[in-house]
Structure 1
Amino acid sequence: MQKLNRAEVEILLASGSSLAGSDLSETNLSGIDFSAVDMSSCDMRYTDLTGAVLNSANLSHSNMGAADLSLASLKRANLKNVDLRWGILKNSDFTDSDMQSIGLLEANVSGSILARVNLSDGDLRRTNLSGASLVGANLSRSNLAMADLTGAAIEGVSFDTCNTYGTKF
């Protein structure tokens, strides 16, 4: 897997190419529009995606540990089996995304919109979800141990068989 820089990513996007399996780690990709792009199985550890548009993008099975997705738009994105532990996802929009089996260990998702998101089977231990909107989200079988949901909107959320040990509501 060859490491790509910002210019190479922009050239591939302009040609309509897939980014699946690419090494985008530690790259500044802030503000880029990745709508409907296949970015599955990418290495995006420590990548700056601040303000990026990833609507309907396929990010499944990607390693995004410690990536910065602050102010990003990920509406209807596929984030199944993504590793986002220690990620910064503040004030982002994940409306209608599939985040089944996501790893959000110690991530900061404060102030984000997670309306109607599928977070079932997710690892959300010690995740900061304060002030987030989780209206209609599915958190079934997720591990929310020690998570912070202070001030979060949780109307219609499914917490079936969740581990909520030490969770702040």
Structure 2
Amino acid sequence: MKVKILFFALLLAPLYLATPATAENPAHVKQLQETNKCPKCDLSGADLKGANLSDADLQGANLIGANLSNAILERANLMSANLVGVDLSNAQMSRSILMGANLIEANLSNANLISADLRYANLVAATLMNVNLTNSELDGANLVGVNLSSANLNGANLLGANLTGATGLPFDLPGAATTRGPFTPPPGSGTPDGRESGGSRVVPSQKTPPRRGEPRENRNNGNVPTGIPETQQK
């Protein structure tokens, strides 16, 4: 008898081991639904498809593997939230705060992220097909291996963003110039997790052509007065 019990226990063990280790806390889900505030809550694996979470406070929340497809997250605070593998396809997230959020392998296809704050967010291997990132802040973001096919990046700030291995990136971003090399954040602005930035980056263009009659830019480090033709410089 004991042998049979042991046999069935061993037979069923893989099924228990295969059960996902993450599951939402029902009390936290209820708190979010009733108050629209659940910072640092455990919402991993939660089914929030189509939920209206505009202006929600989810700072530092655990949303690993959650279903937020078609959800409304406009102006929501998701700073430093754990969104690994989350489904945010078709989500409305304009002006949302995702600074320092972990979005590894997240699905953001067709999402609306107009004017969203994604500074220093980790988007490694995320799907960003047809996403609208108009005027969004992506400076210092980790975009290694992301799929940006048909993404709208008009006016997006990609200063210091790591685009190594990214696919679907347009060759010419309006008002921006592409450069390579390591990016050093300004003093006191380091990344939340202390990681280094590097690889490809996009730097917004700051220069405008001189107007007719105005002297051209001095390219001699101040040794020759502005306006003197370069052919006369010694």
TM-score range, shorter chain: 0.7 to 0.9
Residue aligning to 1:86: 85
Alignment of 1:112-151 (within 5 A): 112-151=111-150
Distance in 2 of aligned mates of 1:35 and 1:4 = 12
Contact 1:93/1:114 (CA < 8 Å) preserved in 2? Answer: yes
- Larger RCO (alpha carbons 8 Å, 6+ apart): 1
Partner AA of 1:57 in structure 2: A
Partner AA of 1:75 in structure 2: E
- Residue 122 (structure 2) pairs with residue 100 (structure 1): no
- Listed as ranges, the gaps of 5+ residues in structure 2 are 1-23, 170-234
Higher helix fraction (1 or 2): 2
Distance in 2 of aligned mates of 1:144 and 1:83 = 16
Contact 2:119/2:141 (CA < 8 Å) preserved in 1? Answer: yes
Distance in 2 of aligned mates of 1:155 and 1:36 = 35
* 1:35 Cα deviation after fit: 8.6
* 1:41 Cα deviation after fit: 0.7
Contact 1:94/1:117 (CA < 8 Å) preserved in 2? Answer: yes
Task: Give the alignment's Cα RMSD to 1 decimal.
Answer: 1.9
**How many residue pairs get matched?**
145
Distance in 2 of aligned mates of 1:37 and 1:149 = 31
Contact 1:35/1:55 (CA < 8 Å) preserved in 2? Answer: no
Contact 2:59/2:80 (CA < 8 Å) preserved in 1? Answer: yes
* 1:153 Cα deviation after fit: 0.6
Q: Deviations over 1:18-66 (max 9, x none)?
A: x37xxxxxxxxxxxxx497211011011110000000000000001001
Three-state SS of the structure 1 residue aligned to 2:103 is coil
Partner AA of 2:98 in structure 1: M
* 1:109 Cα deviation after fit: 0.4
Mark the structure with the bigger radius of gyration. 2
Distance in 1 of aligned mates of 2:27 and 2:75 = 26
Residue aligning to 1:69: 68
Distance in 1 of aligned mates of 2:128 and 2:47 = 20
Q: Deviations over 1:110-165 (max 9, x none)?
A: 00000000000100000000001000000000000000111011100011011100
TM-score (norm 2): 0.59
Partner AA of 2:165 in structure 1: G
TM-score (norm 1): 0.81
Contact 1:140/1:162 (CA < 8 Å) preserved in 2? Answer: yes
Aligned CA distance change for structure 1 residues 100 and 35 (closer, same or farther; 3 Å):
farther
Aligned CA distance change for structure 1 residues 37 and 166 (closer, same or farther; 3 Å):
same
Contact 2:25/2:42 (CA < 8 Å) preserved in 1? Answer: no
Percentage of identical aligned residues: 28
- Listed as ranges, the gaps of 5+ residues in structure 1 are 10-18, 21-33
Q: Deviations over 1:63-83 (max 9, x none)?
A: 100100000000010000000
Aligned CA distance change for structure 1 residues 35 and 139 (closer, same or farther; 3 Å):
farther
Contact 1:36/1:54 (CA < 8 Å) preserved in 2? Answer: no
Higher strand fraction (1 or 2): 2
Contact 2:25/2:43 (CA < 8 Å) preserved in 1? Answer: no
